[in-house]
Each structure stands twice: as C-alpha cells, then as structure tokens.
Copies of this chain bind each other. A is one copy, B any other.
Amino acid sequence: MTILGLVSLPRFKAAVLGATGVVGQVFMALLQNHPFFKVKRITASPGKEGLEYRKALRAWIPPVELSPEYGRLTISSFEDVLEDDDIKIVFSAVPRQVAEDMEKKLAQRGKTVVSNAGALRMEADVPLINPEVNISHLGLLERQKRERGWSGAIVKNPNCTTAVFTLALKPIMDRYGVEQVNLVTLQSLTGAGLRGYYVLEAMNNVIPFIKNEEEKVQRESAKILGTLENGEVKPKSIDIWVTTTRVPVVVGHTEVAHIKLRDNPGSLNEVRRTLEEWRGETGDVDTPTLPRQPLLVYEDPFRPQPLLDSYIEKGMTVAVGRLDLLRERVLRMVIVGNNLVRGAAGAAVSIAEYMHEKGLI
C-alpha cells in the first residue's frame, strides 16, 4: 500500500454476507476506512432486507465505533449482491448450510469470495488459507477456475481454533519438526455466535464438548500445513490428540499444546526467537490488516490471557507463553488468539488484501 496507491486507485466495491452476525460485524469493523475495499452491500438473515444496518443489530461486538456511513447501509437480498456487477469482492460469514450454494453462484458470476463459512473448506481445489502460514496455496485458484469454469473464485480462511493453532505451530514445525501434539482448547463464547449459549448454561461453567470441532482442527491443520505441488495440496501428517472445550470468556481462544518435537531446541530463548522473528510466507508484503509481528512471546508465566491479549495488532497477532520443555523434545506452549479476527474476519480480510496487492482480484 502506498500513498500513491491511495490517491490514484478507486477502492474495490465489496459486499459482506451475514453482516449482522458476530463475524459479519468484525468484517464491517475491519473494512471501515479501508484503503482497498469499500462495502457497498450487506446481507443478513431473510426478512431483514431494507432495514438500516445499525438498526438491524442487536449488539455491536467490535471494540471500535461503527462508522455512520456503514451504519446507514440498508440490508440487501442475496440476489441484489449477486446481480450487482459493480461488486468485485464478497466477504462471507453466512451459516455453513447456505454458504455452498451462495458462494458458488457468486464465483460463477465473476466475484472473488473470501469466506469464513465452513462449507467447501476441504474441497481439493479450494485454498484454505492462514495468510502467513500458506498464502502460497492461492496457487490452487488456477486449477479452481479451470476445472469449475468460474470467472470468480472462492478462498477460505480456517476454523477459528485451527487458525490460531497453526500460526503458532508453523515456525516450530519448520525449525524443529513436530511428531505429535496434545492440544486442549479453552474456547470463547463468541465462537458460537451471538446466540450460541444461554446464560444459565454457560456462565460459571465449562462445557467439555464442541460439535465437530476436534475433527475440524485435525483435518484443516493437515491441509493448511501441507504443501502445494502440481495443483494439489499434500496434507501434512501430524498426529494431533485434541479435546476442545468452551469457557465463559467473550473473545479469545486459549489453547494449551504439549508438542513432541523431532529435534531438541538449543534453548527456550532460541524457541522464543524462532516464534517472534518468524514472518511466514507473507513476509515481504505490507497490508493494512496483516500484523507486523504475527507471534508475540511472553516470559511472564501469567500471560497470555484472552482478556488482555486478544487485540494485539487489531487481533491479528497471536500471543504465546508458558514456553517450557516438559521433557526432552517436549515443548509446552499456551497460545491465545482472537477467534473473531485472526480466527475469522481478520484472516479473510488479510487474504483479500494480499490478493489485491498481487493483482489477483
């Protein structure tokens, strides 16, 4: 992004699907005053068409004010978005069950869809991207366009837990090799949406099960950490034993990992530097949402905490702490990441920004 760019280029028109939901709201917040994209249309659940956005919201979750401009957008139908050829890019935060059909139609119509919806993530020709980890998987788009005959495209960001986890795991994997991971997550309530839990079931409690979550972490991690060769992502075979739970925290997933390494680190300091200095595959590209430092490491054993560490660099930086060698070649990390930003809308916006910079939209 350059000053020159800001001046000379008109902003791409964008749409946000599912803009009243919790992830949709974070899309709207990140796209306020955005130098590349300008939201022109939004959708919500059926029946809300024509309402003003700010009046259709029951709550506004992001920690920034909703801009008057976006607040006054009126809610469109999906068809209006589909048929608006002015719209080049669509950010999707719709429920899994309606996503597949909508997103395919949009791609066919020539739009670039960057989507947080669970559907299609494991399709062989759909890039599933955690930017710093595997932005190179965008290479799949060539095959996608060819095989599907789309003028547009569909790109996915990962499940929230997986996005946080793979970001912290990648530099460790690259440097030391990873043989096995024990992962226990303490996930926040916004991961289940605005109406995920009733007060009387979730407060003062731990819920020890999140449907399909453990499978997603294993499956998506293998794809994200895999290598793209000849138009094919070869999944990384990592042995992950995982239990996912829900705790009474509003934003920020905490993940405790006990990682069996191939090589013993020289020291914890070396591990710390490996994490903090890592920039990943997006290293040379500077965009508004990609963080300058993807991973921050605490030496204070009381950190990271979701209450304090969920909004570092707008929520894109993942915080790591409690680094310890529990045994030889067994590394412990506690990882905290913002499930709505790094784990959802922020990852998607970063992907779109990267595509914009590389001329892929």
Contacts and interface: CB of A to CB of B under 8 A. Distances in A.
Interface in A172-216: 182, 184, 186, 189-190, 194-209
Interface stretch (A31-39, A58-66, A77-85, A96-104): A58-66
B201 A327 contact: no
Contact of A199 (B64, B203, B208, B334): B203
A22 B200 CA distance: 10
A182 to B, nearest CB: 4
Nearest to A314: B65
Contacts of A304: 208
Interface in A310-328: 311-313, 321-322, 326-327
B250 A254 contact: no
Nearest to A313: B65
Contacts of A90: none
A294 interface: no
A301 interface: yes
A243 interface: yes
Contacts of A65: 311-313
A36 to B, nearest CB: 22
A96 B59 CA distance: 29
Contact of A208 (B22, B64, B206, B254): B254
A305 interface: yes
Contacts of A326: 241
Contacts of A308: 59-60, 205
A258 interface: yes
Tell me the dominant secondary structure on chain A's binding face.
mixed
Interface in A33-75: 58-61, 63-65
A256 interface: yes
A76 interface: no
A228 interface: no
Contact of A204 (B208, B302, B307, B334): B307
A198 B306 CA distance: 16
Query: How many copies of this kind of chain does the complex include?
Result: 4
Contacts of A307: 59, 201, 204-205
B248 A247 contact: yes
A241 B258 contact: yes
Contacts of A121: none
A283 B342 CA distance: 42
Contact of A206 (B58, B207, B249): B249
Contacts of A330: 241
A272 interface: no
A246 to B, nearest CB: 10
Interface string A95-113: 0000000000000000000
Given A189-B199, A190-B200, A205 B305 contact: yes
A54 to B, nearest CB: 12
6 contacts: A182-B182, A203-B248, A204-B204, A204-B306, A208-B305, A243-B322
Given A182-B241, A208-B305, A241-B330, 14 more contacts: A63-B63, A184-B256, A186-B245, A194-B200, A195-B198, A196-B199, A200-B250, A203-B204, A205-B305, A207-B302, A207-B305, A241-B327, A247-B247, A248-B249
Pairs of residues from A and B, 5 with the lowest C-beta to C-beta distance, nearest first? A205-B307, A184-B184, A182-B182, A209-B301, A63-B63
